[in-house]
Amino acid sequence: MVTTQELIEGLLATHRLGSVEKLVQELAWRDYWKGWLEWRPDVWRAYRAEVTRLRCDGPPALLQRAEVVMAGRGGVGIMDRFARELVATGYLHNHARMWWAGYWCHVERLPWALGADFFYRHLLDADPASNTLGWRWVAGLQTRGKAYLPRRSNLERYCAPEWLDDPRGLERLDDSEVAPCTLVDEASFPRLRWATLPECPAVTPGRWGLWIHGEDLTPELSALSRLRPAVVATILDDAPVHTHGLSEGRVRWMREGLHDAGRRAAAHYGCVSLHAEGGGEGLPDALVRIGREHRVDGWISMRPCVGPLGEQVGKIEAAITSAGMTVQWCRRAWDEALWPHAYSGFFPFWEKVGARLSRARPGGATQGEMAL
C-alpha cells in the first residue's frame, strides 16, 4: 500500500541523502531482495519444493518439534513469546524476526524452509523475496559463512526488561553455546535475465480493464494514473491462500487491502470497481468472466513478481488469450531502474543506487520525479 519509492522520496524531499542514508539503505533492502529474486526465480521454486518435501516426507520427530516451537511451547521463554505474538498479531519487530529465525535454525536446528513458511503464513507484510531471502541469510545460505546467530547478550541489551520476565531456556542462547547449523551444499541457481516492461502501455482504442493485486495497491500513484479503464477488478485468489495455508488474519488483511485499493481506484478513475473471491473460481477464470461481463478488449496490470502471483502469470495469459482478450503488463520505472543492479551483493547495488539518489535536491522534486 505504501511503496519504498514514496518513503525514500519523502525523506529526500526534506533531507540530503547523507543525513538519512542508513534509513534509506534499510528501505532499499526490500527493493534489492525483489530484484535479486527476479534474477534467480529458481530460488523461490526450490524453497517451495523443499517445504512440500518436508511436509510430506520429513522425519516425524522433526515435524513434531517444529509444530511445538511454532506453537510457542519450545521451552525458551522469550522465543515462545515471539512465536505467540506472531500468530496472534501477524507482526514481529525486525530484531525479533531475526532473533527467532536464528533460534529456529541454529539452536533448534530445524529446517530454514519450514521456518520461512511459518513466517510467510502469518506475517501481514510477508513478501516472497524479503521473507525467503532473509531466512536464507539467517541460515547462512544467502552469503556463505555469514549466518545470523541469536545471542543472549544481544537480547539482554536490546529487549525491554519485561520481555525477559520468563527466563526459561535462556542458557540455550548463551553466546558460548550457539553455533551455526551445518548446511547441505545446494545446487547453484542460474541468473536469468527478465524482459523490461513499460511503466504505462501504449493502449490502443477500446475498452480496457485494470487488474489491481496485492503486490501493488496504489496504481493511482504510478504512471497508470492516466488510464481511463472501463472497470477495475480486485481478486482474492483462493489457490495461493490454500496452497500456502495462510492464516485467517493474513487473509483478512489481504481482503481489506484489496477492498481499500478498489475504493480508491473507483474514486480516482471514475469507473465501476469489482471484487471477486471464493466459489472455487480461479484468478484466470475470474479475470475472463469480469472481462466478458464488461466487454473489455483486455486487461492492464502491474506484472506480479516472483512468488505465488508470479507463478500464475502463464495461466493468466493463456486464459485471457483463449477468451479473445489481451493482457498488457507494466512495471514501475523505479523498479526498472533499481532491479538490474541487484544481480550480486547489496553493497554493489547500493553503490549504484545511492550515487543516483544523492543527486536529488531536498525540496527540488515531487512524487515520482526523482530520476533514477
Quick: pLDDT tens for 227-262: 999 999 999 988 888 888 999 999 999 999 999 999
Residue 370 has pLDDT above 80, yes or no: no
pLDDT in the model for residue 136: 97
Domain map (residue ranges) of the chain? 11-40+345-372, 41-173, 208-330
Q: Could you tell me the CATH superfamily of domain 208-330?
A: HUPs (3.40.50.620)
Distinct helix (H) and strand (E) counts, the chain = 15, 5
Distances in Å between the Cα of 352 and the Cα atoms of 311, 343, 345, 356, 362 are: 30, 12, 12, 7, 20
b or e along 353-367 (b: 16 or more beta carbons within 10 Å of the residue's beta carbon)?
bbeebeebeeeeeee
pTM of the prediction? 0.94
Average pLDDT over residues 138-144: 92
pLDDT of residue 366: 40
Half-sphere exposure of 7 (CA within 13 A, CB side): 15
The percent of residues in the chain predicted with pLDDT above 90, rounded, is 86
pLDDT value of residue 100: 98
CATH number given to 41-173: 1.10.579.10
Tell me what pLDDT residue 204 has. 72
pLDDT for 193 equals 86
Yes or no: say if 148 and 98 are a contact pair by the CB < 8 Å rule: yes
Q: What is the pLDDT of residues 30-46, one digit of tens each?
A: 999 999 999 999 999 99
pLDDT band at 368 (very low <50, low <70, confident <90, very high): very low
User: Would you say the CATH fold of 208-330 matches that of 41-173?
Assistant: no
